[in-house]
């Protein structure tokens, strides 16, 4: 196999991956998400990097699960399993702009989670719209 020359286009772009994911998953609009804040059957899951959380804040009540650990945290057979991510609530993932959360939602759907969606536009759109934001509570992941 001939190595790819640096700087040449990939066989599939990251934009194409996100577009494919969005075609396969449920997308929640910003307006719909606002109505879900107090819904006990929904768990908003922030998959952004901890530095983003500290810098920008979080959606109130969101569970924090770093993108790199998400598949392990939702898998009951994983040693990293987090029961809060498998307690019967529908997961609505979000990231900064909706790209990582689209790919993550697709990944969870491929794992067999039918109760997952992602927030269109991500946290950036949420914040721009003046929706509620709170400071990230300390370091670490999960609630609190």
pLDDT for position 142: 53
**CB contact at 8 A, 103 and 122:** no
pLDDT for position 1: 77
**pTM reported for the whole predicted model:** 0.90
Residue 123: in which H helix or E strand, if any? helix 122-128
Whether residue 140 is predicted with pLDDT greater than 80 in this model: the reply is no
pLDDT for position 136: 87
pLDDT for position 141: 46
Sign of CA dihedral 114, 119, 120, 122: negative
* Residue 27: count of CB within 10 angstroms of its CB: 18
Superfamily holding 26-128? Rhodanese-like domain (3.40.250.10)
pLDDT tens sequence across 2-33: 888 898 998 999 999 999 999 999 999 998 98
């Amino acid at each position: 196999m001939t190595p790819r020359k640096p700087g040449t286009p990939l066989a599939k772009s990251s934009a194409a991956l996100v577009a494919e994911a969005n075609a396969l998953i449920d997308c929640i609009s910003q307006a719909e998400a606002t109505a879900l804040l107090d819904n006990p059957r929904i768990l908003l899951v922030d998959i952004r990097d901890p530095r983003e959380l500290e810098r920008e804040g979080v959606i109130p009540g969101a569970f924090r699960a770093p993108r790199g650990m998400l598949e392990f945290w939702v898998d009951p057979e994983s040693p990293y399993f987090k029961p809060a991510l498998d307690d019967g609530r529908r997961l609505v993932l979000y990231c900064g702009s909706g790209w990582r959360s689209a790919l993550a939602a697709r990944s969870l759907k491929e794992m067999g989670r039918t109760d997952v969606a992602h927030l269109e536009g991500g946290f950036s759109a949420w914040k721009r719209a003046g929706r509620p934001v709170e400071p990230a509570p300390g370091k670490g992941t999960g609630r609190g």
